[in-house]
A and B are shown apart, each in its own frame.
Chain A
Amino acid sequence: MTTSPALQVVRGTQASRAALVVGIVLVLVAASMPLWAESSWMREFVEIACYFVFAMMWNLLAGYGGMVSIGQQAFFGLGGYGMLMLGNLAGVNPFVAIPIAALATALVALPVSWVAFRLQGGYFAIGTWVIAEVFRLSFANLSIVGGGSGTSLTALRGIERATRESLTFWIALACVVAAIAGVYLFLRSKLGLALLAIRDNEVAAESQGIHVRRIKLAVYVTCAFGAGLAGALYFVGNLRISPDAAFSVNWTAFAIFMVVIGGIGRIEGPIVGALIFWALNKFFSDYGTWYLMGLGAMAIGVTIFFKQGLWGWLQQRHGWSLFPTTRRLELSNEDSHAQHR
C-alpha cells in the first residue's frame, strides 16, 4: 500500500514555529544581559534557572517516566558537593567542575537505581527520600567538607567578581536552553516514543519489544545528571554549601509545585510553573509560613480540581502546543478529495 500524497504526517504547529523564533530572540537578548543588566538581576536569573532545570528533570522523571520521586534532592546535593570538592580539594576550576560533577552524579545514580527500583509507586517516592537522607547524613559527618555546618567555595577566590557573575550567568542560560532542547529532542526521538509508550501502558510496551527496565534506567540516570548540573550551578552562584541546604526536601517540593501548577507531562508545564513560582516568590515570600502554606494549598487544589495544570488547560481549550511531540495526520488542501480511495 502506498501513502496517498494527500496525507501528511505533521508535528510542527504555527505556535511552535513562532515559539522557536521568539525563543531564539529571547535567548540572544538574555545572552547580552551581562553587558547592561544589574548584577542582582543576573543572580536572580541563575537562581530561578537552577530551580527550573531541576523541575524540568523532575517532570521528565515523573511526568514522562512515571517515576514519582521525593528524593531528587539527593542528586542536587551531590552535584553541589561534587563541584565543591573538585574545586576546593582537587584544585579544578569550579566552572569546569560543574559538568564533571554532573557526570559524577549520573555515575552515582547507577548503583542508587539498583536499590530504588526495588520499590514502586508511592513507596518508590518515599524510598528515594530515605536515600537522599542517607547522603545528607553522610555529608553531615564528613569533616573534610565542614560536616554539619558546611563550608565555603574558596576555589573561586582568585576570580574577579564581574567575570564570575557573567560566567555563572552564561552557564545558567546555556543549562536552561540545553534542558529544554534536550528534553524536547529526546521526546521526539525513537527512545522518547518508547518512553511515552511505557508511561501509557508498561505491559503493552514490553510486549512490543521495548526494553522497559533499560529505558527507565536511562531516564533515571539522565535526570540525575540534570539535577546534579542544577545543584553544581546553584552552589557556584551561592558560594556556600551545607548538607541541610544541599539535600533539603524543599528542592523537590518546589519542583513538584512548579510541574503540577504548570502541567505535568508536558514541556511547557515546568516553564509556566517556573514563571509562576518566580512571581509568587518575588511578591509573597516575605509572608514566610503563610506563603508556604499557600503553595501547599495551591498544589492540593490544582491536583484535585485542575488535574492538567495551567498549560494543560490552555492546551485543551485552544490546542496550543509550543513543543509538539505528537504526530498529527493532516490533509493537504488542494487534493483533499483524493483521500476517499
Chain B
Amino acid sequence: MLDTLIQGLLLGGLYALFALGLSLMFGVMRLTNTAQGDFIVLAAFAAIALAPLVGSQSVPAVVLLLPVAFGFGYALQRWVLNGTLGRDPLPSLVVTFGLSIVIQNGLLELFSADPRSLDSAGFNTRSVALGEGVAVGALPLAIFGTALLCTVALQALFDRTAIGRAFRAVSDDREIAELMGLDANRIYALATAIAFIVIALAGSLQAMRTTVAPSDGPLLLLFAFEAVIIGGMGSFWGTFAGAMVLGLAQQIGFRLDPGWGIWFGHLVFLAVLVVRPQGLFPRTRG
C-alpha cells in the first residue's frame, strides 16, 4: 500500500514535468499546444542523438540540449505560433496538430519505430533506502526532485520577477500591456522558450527512465493535459498537485489490474471534470 503510494507520487513527478510547459503556454497566451507530447519525444530523441557527441554521457547531452531547446521554442513561437493566436482557437490547434504529425513521421523516418533510451550509466537501476524496508529508485526520485524544482522556479519567476510580471500582464490584457510598452510577441516567444526548457528536461528524463518511440507523443500530451485540468488553471502548484493525483490514480489502477491503469487515470480525470470543472486547486489569473 505504502509502496503504491510512493510509486504513484514519483510517477506524478514525471507527469508534472510533462504538464508544466502546457500550463505555462496556456497561462500566458491561451495557446493549447497539441504537440506537447511530440515535443517531449522530440527532445528525448535529440538527447539520444547528442549523447554520442559528448562521450555517450547523458548529463552533458542534456546540458547541451537545454540552450538548443530554448532557442527552438523561441523561434517556433516568434515565427510560427504567434501568427495563429487570436480569439478563434482553431488556427493554433490545427498548426500544433499538424506539427505533431510532422514530428511523429519525421522521427519515424530518422530513427525507425524501434523504442530507444538514453543511457544513464546505471543510474536508472540504483535505489535509495527510505527508512526500514522501503527503497525507491534513485532516478524516479531525481525526476521528482527536478519536477519540484521546476515548479518552485516557475512559480517564483511568475510571482516575483519582472519577466513574470510581463507574463501576467500580457495574459490579463494584451492590448493594455502593449500600450504600457511591452512587446507581446517577444514575451510570448520567451514564455515558449522557457516551456521548452522544461520539455527538454521531461524528454531526457523520460528517455533515461524508460524507452521512447516516435508514436509516444499523443499519450504524453493526454497525461499532461489531464494533470493541468485536474489541478486547475492558474498556478504551477495546481498543475503539480494535479500530476500527483493522476500518478496516484494510474498507480492504483495498475495495482488493481495492469490492463486498466491508464483507463482508471482517464476516469479520475473525467470524474474531476464532472464534480469540480474548475479543477482541485484553481487560482485563475485575471
- Contacts A141-B263, A296-B98: A304 and B89 contacting too (C-beta < 8 A)? no
Residues of B within 8 A of A307 (CB): 91
Q: Are B83 and A304 in contact (CB under 8 A)?
A: yes
Q: Are A130 and B222 in contact (CB under 8 A)?
A: yes
Q: Are A134 and B267 in contact (CB under 8 A)?
A: yes
Q: Are B229 and A127 in contact (CB under 8 A)?
A: yes
Contact digits for A122-139, partner B, Cβ 8 Å, 1 yes 0 no: 110111011101100110
Of the stretches A6-14, A158-166, A285-293, A316-324, the one at the interface is A285-293
- With both beta carbons as reference points, the residue of chain A lying nearest to B110 in the complex is identified as A289
- From B93, B218, B262, B270, contact of A115 by CB (8 A): B270
Nearest chain A CB to B28 CB, angstrom units: 14
Q: Are B274 and A125 in contact (CB under 8 A)?
A: no
Q: Are B263 and A300 in contact (CB under 8 A)?
A: no
- From B93, B102, B106, B273, contact of A127 by CB (8 A): B273
Q: Are A253 and B97 in contact (CB under 8 A)?
A: yes
Task: Please tell me if A118 contacts chain B, counting CB pairs below 8 Å.
Answer: yes
Q: Are A293 and B34 in contact (CB under 8 A)?
A: no
Nearest chain A CB to B91 CB, angstrom units: 5
Contact digits for B76-116, partner A, Cβ 8 Å, 1 yes 0 no: 00001001100001111111011111101110110000000
Task: Please tell me if B26 contacts chain A, counting CB pairs below 8 Å.
Answer: yes
Chain A interface (Cβ within 8 Å of chain B)? 62, 68, 70, 114-115, 118-119, 121-123, 125-127, 129-131, 133-134, 137-138, 141, 249, 253, 256, 260, 264, 289-290, 292-293, 295-297, 299-300, 303-304, 307
- Please measure, in the bound complex, the distance between the C-alpha atom of A307 and the C-alpha atom of B83, giving whole angstroms: 11
- From B34, B80, B266, contact of A137 by CB (8 A): B266
Residues of B within 8 A of A125 (CB): 32, 34, 89, 93
Q: Are A297 and B89 in contact (CB under 8 A)?
A: no
Task: Please tell me if B31 contacts chain A, counting CB pairs below 8 Å.
Answer: yes
Main secondary structure of the interface of A (DSSP, over half): helix
Nearest chain A CB to B195 CB, angstrom units: 15
- Please measure, in the bound complex, the distance between the C-alpha atom of A264 and the C-alpha atom of B226, giving whole angstroms: 29
- With both beta carbons as reference points, the residue of chain B lying nearest to A120 in the complex is identified as B89
Task: Please tell me if B123 contacts chain A, counting CB pairs below 8 Å.
Answer: no
Q: List 15 A-B contacts (CB under 8 A).
A: A70-B34, A118-B273, A122-B34, A130-B226, A137-B263, A138-B263, A141-B263, A249-B218, A253-B101, A264-B90, A292-B105, A296-B99, A297-B102, A303-B84, A304-B83
Q: Are B83 and A126 in contact (CB under 8 A)?
A: no
Residues of B within 8 A of A131 (CB): 270
- Please measure, in the bound complex, the distance between the C-alpha atom of A126 and the C-alpha atom of B229, giving whole angstroms: 11
Task: Please tell me if B259 contacts chain A, counting CB pairs below 8 Å.
Answer: yes
What 18 new A-B contacts, CB under 8 Å, besides A126-B222, A134-B270?
A123-B26, A125-B32, A126-B221, A129-B222, A130-B266, A130-B270, A134-B263, A137-B260, A253-B97, A256-B94, A264-B90, A289-B109, A292-B104, A293-B102, A296-B101, A299-B97, A304-B91, A307-B91
- Please measure, in the bound complex, the distance between the C-alpha atom of A292 and the C-alpha atom of B100, giving whole angstroms: 11
Task: Please tell me if B174 contacts chain A, counting CB pairs below 8 Å.
Answer: no
Task: Please tell me if B283 contacts chain A, counting CB pairs below 8 Å.
Answer: no
**Which residues of B from 154 to 175 have beta carbons under 8 Å from A?**
none
Q: Are A299 and B266 in contact (CB under 8 A)?
A: no
Q: Are B93 and A122 in contact (CB under 8 A)?
A: yes
Q: What are the 7 tightest A-B residue pairs by CB atom distance, in nearest-first order?
A: A122-B32, A296-B101, A300-B98, A289-B105, A296-B102, A121-B89, A118-B277
- Please measure, in the bound complex, the distance between the C-alpha atom of A137 and the C-alpha atom of B260, giving whole angstroms: 8
Residues of B within 8 A of A138 (CB): 263
- Please measure, in the bound complex, the distance between the C-alpha atom of A264 and the C-alpha atom of B102, giving whole angstroms: 22
**Which residues of B from 53 to 97 have beta carbons under 8 Å from A?**
80, 83-84, 89-95, 97
Residues of B within 8 A of A290 (CB): 105, 109
**Which residues of B from 225 to 274 have beta carbons under 8 Å from A?**
225-226, 229, 259-260, 262-263, 266-267, 269-270, 273-274
Q: Are B89 and A118 in contact (CB under 8 A)?
A: no
- Contacts A122-B32, A253-B97, A290-B109: A304 and B84 contacting too (C-beta < 8 A)? yes
